[in-house]
Chain A
Amino acid sequence: MAQVSITVNGKQRTGDVEPRLLLVHFLREQLDLTGTHVGCDTSQCGACTVLVDGRSAKSCTIFAVQADGSEVTTIEGLADGDNLHPLQDGFWEEHGLQCGYCTPGMILSAVTLLEDNPSPSEEQIREGLDGNFCRCTGYQHIVNAVQNAAAGRA
């Protein structure tokens, strides 16, 4: 077992973990942060996306021990108290989700997307979401949601 200390959503969290414990399982099972989901085994679908040290990353492809000392933001830590993050608002406003399973990862990918490029074109939004699958929406309302958030931040 190894001890890890990870700052999750602004709070330092520690735990004894098997080295093979995936970060996503540390978040979900040890910290009860079940907003981060698992949708594949091979690092494609992006349902497990969180921010690691400020940038989007697939928490199913990172061992918790690798994240020792890092800062992690999950969907549960995105809102500022009762104020939703502009992307959360955007997804709600534009019907950017249906079953909601991909949504936390999709939103966190979009956070990095908009940090890198605050005024993306539609094409840039679509390409910026290459690492996130949605089987419900056909992505059009997701694109609208990111545009909505970008417009709100501008």
Chain B
Amino acid sequence: MIPSAFDYERATSVDDALARLAARGGAGKLIAGGHSLVPLMKLRLNEPGALIDIARIPELSGIRGQDGGIEIGAATVHHAVATSDLLRARCPVIAETAATIGDPQVRNRGTLGGSVAHADPASDYPATLLALDAEIRIQGPGGTRTVAARDFFQDLFTVDLAGDELITAVRFTPTRTAAYAKLYQRASRFAIVGVAAALDVDGGTIRRARLGLTGALSHAVRLTAVEDALAGRPATADGVAAAAARAGDGLNDVNADIHAGADYRRAMVGVFAQRALKAALARSQESAP
């Protein structure tokens, strides 16, 4: 398949990219790895008038620890996230999430920012960013702003990002006690259901839990009912199992397609919530002194 014609420009800096985007009015679209966008363009489901390439803007790539937090540049490829020593040591859940995306070639090109901006309802990163309570850092003509992940993912392919803005980075406070579990759609390798769970464990008790869900609904969401039910419970497999098992019960408008009906997806939310929680608990025990 062959995309429609478009203009192409390569931006040298974030400011340059924003200026080029502004100059294009609504017709410009950013491209980094292109692994969400290009397949849609080839099928002519997306026909931008101009692409502005931000893949080589130096400040957009890289994984940095700062002030107790970690910042990942928007143009950082999945492979770099999946194999980062820093992330594997301090926040393995995000490396593990990246490692489930697509396949090796896709991970060599696809970027965090592209995935997050595209917000496919079955993409993996959003669940984990929600569980990490991550912030999306955005730059636009009016300057920079920061949006919490839970506010960023709004609807089907819809996020809190204007057409003249770009995502510069994602920031979060790292935790070792978090994990991602995913039921693969076997053709596309997207998530039929994916759940990321992050736990604050103190003295054998769950102080706070955060769960992000992808695949089941029009966009990724926090499973706040489960989070509330988990708070204060013993940090054991049995302790989490009951709270997680019904995680899908309260969900409305669950996706249904040829790969999975709504009932099944709803049930899988519980199954994968449990799996993510158990894996996160196992990490909490590993990292205990």
Task: Indicate if A touches B (C-beta under 8 A).
Answer: yes
Count chain A residues whose beta carbon lies closer than 8 angstroms to a beta carbon of B.
31
Q: Is B8 within 8 A of A56, CB to CB?
A: no
Interface string of B21-53 (1 = CB under 8 A from A): 000000000010011001101110000000101
Interface string of A50-62 (1 = CB under 8 A from B): 0010011110111
Minimal beta-carbon separation of A26 from chain B (angstroms): 13
Q: Is A20 within 8 A of B6, CB to CB?
A: yes
Q: Which of B103-111, B152-160, B246-254 contacts A (4 or more CB under 8 A)?
A: B103-111
B235 at the interface (CB under 8 A from A): no
Assembly CA distance A2 to B50 (angstroms) = 13
Given contacts A19-B5, A20-B2, A43-B39, contact A62 B109 (CB under 8 A): yes
Given contacts A61-B39, A130-B189, contact A56 B105 (CB under 8 A): yes
Assembly CA distance A60 to B38 (angstroms) = 9
Given contacts A41-B43, A62-B38, contact A57 B105 (CB under 8 A): yes
| CB within 8 Å of A: which B70-89 residues | 79, 83
Q: Which residues of the partner chain B approach A27 to less than 8 Å between Cβ atoms?
A: none
Given contacts A43-B35, A130-B189, contact A65 B8 (CB under 8 A): yes
A14 at the interface (CB under 8 A from B): no
Q: Is A109 within 8 A of B53, CB to CB?
A: no
Assembly CA distance A55 to B1 (angstroms) = 24
Interface string of B1-28 (1 = CB under 8 A from A): 1111111101000000000000000000
Q: Is B5 within 8 A of A18, CB to CB?
A: yes
Assembly CA distance A35 to B106 (angstroms) = 21
Q: Residue on B with the closest CB to A25?
A: B2
Assembly CA distance A116 to B82 (angstroms) = 12
Q: Is B105 within 8 A of A46, CB to CB?
A: yes
Q: Which residues of the partner chain B approach A52 to less than 8 Å between Cβ atoms?
A: 108-109
| CB within 8 Å of B: which A38-85 residues | 41-44, 46, 49, 52, 55-58, 60-63, 65-66, 68
Q: Given contact pairs A19-B5, A42-B42, enumerate 18 new A-B contacts (beta carbons under 8 Å).
A: A42-B43, A46-B105, A52-B109, A57-B105, A57-B109, A58-B109, A61-B35, A61-B38, A62-B38, A63-B8, A63-B51, A66-B53, A68-B10, A112-B104, A130-B102, A130-B103, A130-B189, A131-B105
Residues in B lying within 8 Å of A, measured CB to CB: 1-8, 10, 31, 34-35, 38-39, 41-43, 51, 53, 55, 79, 83, 102-106, 108-109, 187-189
Residues in A lying within 8 Å of B, measured CB to CB: 2, 18-20, 22, 41-44, 46, 49, 52, 55-58, 60-63, 65-66, 68, 109, 112-113, 116, 128, 130-132
Query: Can you identify 22 A-B contacts, CB atoms within 8 angstroms?
Result: A2-B8, A19-B6, A19-B51, A20-B2, A20-B3, A20-B4, A20-B6, A41-B43, A42-B39, A43-B35, A43-B38, A43-B106, A44-B188, A56-B105, A56-B108, A63-B38, A66-B31, A66-B34, A68-B10, A116-B83, A128-B104, A131-B106
